[in-house]
Amino acid sequence: MKFAVEKENDNIYKIDITIPAKDAAKAYDEAVRRISQYVNVDGFRKGKAPRAVIERQVGTERIKHEALDKLMPSVIAEAIKENNLDVITQPYITKFDYTLGQDLTVELKVETRPEVVLGAYKDLKVDVESTEMPEDAFDRALENVLSQYATLELVVDRPTKETDIAVIDFEGSANGEKIEGGDAKNYPLDLGHSNFIPGFAEQIVGKNIGDEFEIKVTFPENYHDDKLKGQPAVFKIKLNEIKERKVPELNDAFAQKVGPFKTVDEFKADIQKYLDKQKETSDRQKSENAVFEKVVEAASVDIPETMIEREAESLTNDYKQRLQAQGLSWDAVEKTEGKDKLADTIREDAKFRIKNSLVIGKIAQEENIKLEPKDIHAKFNQLSAAYGLKQEDLMKQMGKNPEIIASLSQQALNDKVRDFLMEKNSVNFIKPKKQKVESK
């Protein structure tokens, strides 16, 4: 078997493969036998029809393609290995000459990993702004836990307050037409945390049970429905019930109810421990990102256009799927963001992700950082915990999608390289720079 490799442009290589005639003939005969096992031929049992009959039945071209499908994977693997090519995409056949009795010639195109030139990536000193927790972080965390155990009590002797839950019937119209999906019965609206149109909840404050009234609002300019963007609307409201949120008293009994605590002090200490862990996690993430960003900036790589186009297409498809899951339209986003601007943003994101991945791969190669089974198992553990599935069941589901396995492997390698960079570089935490407040 002979291989002739020629670099065409950037990272695209052409490989001319010559396979001896006897090997090509053997592959052809084996293909005939495989096809005869499932082709029905009158007068013959499956697998017993002569070669000439099979050729007449299915055609020699189909047999040759069957032979190539079986023969080429191992041949391509040998060509790549012999020529030490770091291939990053599936090689593809551009043409072939399969004449029985003659050597089989195949022309192949492969795309190799671009060359990455690393800059300094060890012994760096990086300044990182430390995470500053808000002064009221503890009070807000405590309030959040208390609110989770709050109860709702009916109110009958006063108007609504901005902290109440108002149970309402509503029906909206705009431009003289009823708004599709703009009505409901006995809808519980949290007046203090409403995601309705701005100004909607505020106009219900101060009303009494049984009141029927109208409120006027204007849809935002960036509303997802083009027909309603910036349009004034009127909603007929009937207030059916008022509910007040009652927060439990903070005492030892409450602490014992929410966790393995005996006293309020133990409960508060656990909240502080949680906040400290949040700060620690945030500082770690900031440190990793800052170090990695400096390493990536110091590296240089000429990313081929084909890689950028593929990654941009992949990102676009992911984006479309997320929008669809949210009930949003890709066309609407293109119209809002601008088609060209959106395409440029995705393209830059694609280049950013490709360079990050290439740099990680290069460092792993230089430092002999390799994945071990335990690294993949750790990723499966994280996923199984996140989705509440047994690891065995998750692995069965993932096994049906090789792309997910490849993605998990890449994530695991990313983690190992980032851990390596954190070990080999030092971080100096500094106070966050105060944001300048612009005067109006």
pLDDT for 184 equals 94
Strand, coil or helix: what is 120?
A: coil
Cα–Cα distance, 33 to 338 (Å, whole number): 57
Asked whether the beta carbons of 202 and 217 are under 8 A apart, the reply is: no
State the distance between the two ends of the chain, measured CA to CA, in whole angstroms.
77
Low-confidence ranges of the chain (pLDDT < 50): 437-440
Q: Which fold has domain 151-246?
A: Chitinase A; domain 3 (3.10.50)
List pLDDT tens digits, range 182-217. Answer: 999 999 999 998 989 999 999 999 999 999 999 999
Report the DSSP pairing between strands 165-174 and 177-190. Answer: antiparallel
Cβ contacts of residue 109 below 8 Å, gap of 6+? 8, 12, 13, 14, 15, 91, 92, 94
List pLDDT tens digits, range 63-103. Answer: 999 999 999 999 999 999 999 888 888 898 999 999 999 99
Cβ contacts of residue 356 below 8 Å, gap of 6+? 292, 296
Write out the H or E segment, with its range, that includes residue 237.
strand 232-246
| CATH code of domain 2-112 | 3.30.70.1050
Asked whether the beta carbons of 143 and 250 are under 8 A apart, the reply is: no
pLDDT for 418 equals 94
Query: What pTM was computed for the model?
Result: 0.69
pLDDT for 375 equals 82
| Distances, alpha carbon 307 to alpha carbons 108, 114, 267, 429, in Å | 18, 10, 53, 37
Q: Hey, do 2-112 and 151-246 end up sharing a CATH topology, with the first three levels equal?
A: no
Cα–Cα distance, 112 to 87 (Å, whole number): 4
pLDDT for 439 equals 45
Q: Which fold has domain 257-430?
A: Trigger factor, domain 2 (1.10.3120)
Closest CA to 213 of 251, 266, 159, 259: 159
pLDDT for 120 equals 95
Closest CA to 54 of 71, 68, 37, 69: 37
pLDDT for 257 equals 93
Domain boundaries, the chain: 2-112, 151-246, 257-430
pLDDT for 371 equals 87
